[in-house]
Amino acid sequence: MADMVSERYALSLYEVAQDEKQEKLYLDQLTEVCAAFDSEPDFLKMLTTPSIAAEDKQKVLKTVLEGRIEPFLLNFLMLVTDKGRIGLIHEMCQAYKEQYYFENGIVEVLAVTAVPMSAALTDKLRGKMEQVTGKKVELKCSVDPSIMGGIVVKVNNEQFDTSLRTRLEELAARLTGTQESR
């Protein structure tokens, strides 16, 4: 149910952003708002607390966000707060982003390496993934020393794992399987 509600709100916001030709700006600002809620969880908790009057919540939203985000986006946040749906803001942001990516032929790719990749390698990976997917790639890189080497690439619901850790685990499983069958 929450997914459907979040999606409806997000798509309504997206339609307005399209009308204003501000889809990317709204995505960026909505993402910043969600990041602010992540860094200050008490702020979101206050907005979801039923015992606090809706007018007080709206005053706080205006005080904190007015002039920093588009007026319609502020009104949207005040509306979802008034309707008791602000707790779904992260899901709304995700649904908005998915719609934006769909409309603009963008795919999100996550690359995990044992050490940070150089800018040249990052660009090369982005180019290769654009060839493979046929879409613009939004590449997110992260570091996980436990993979020891290689790379793990996640695209949509697929994962391509060429990490040293996985290869060693596969080798150990084969060796263990061989020893057991003797």
* pLDDT class of 2 with cuts at 50, 70, 90: low
pLDDT tens-digit series, residues 112-125 = 999 999 999 999 99
φ and ψ of 106, to 5 deg: -115, 140
Which domains are delineated in the chain? Answer: 2-101 (1.10.520.20), 105-181 (3.40.30)
Helices (DSSP H) in 20-163: which residue ranges? 23-39, 41-48, 54-65, 71-82, 89-103, 119-133
Phi/psi zone of residue 107: left (φ > 0), alpha (ψ -120 to 50 degrees), beta?
beta
pLDDT tens-digit series, residues 10-42 = 999 999 999 999 999 999 999 999 999 999 999
pLDDT tens-digit series, residues 43-87 = 999 999 999 999 999 999 999 999 999 999 999 999 999 999 999
Q: Which amino acid is at 21?
A: K
Torsion of CA 99, 102, 105, 106, to 10 degrees: 60
Largest CA distance in the chain: 74
Per the listing, tokens 């015992």 go with 51
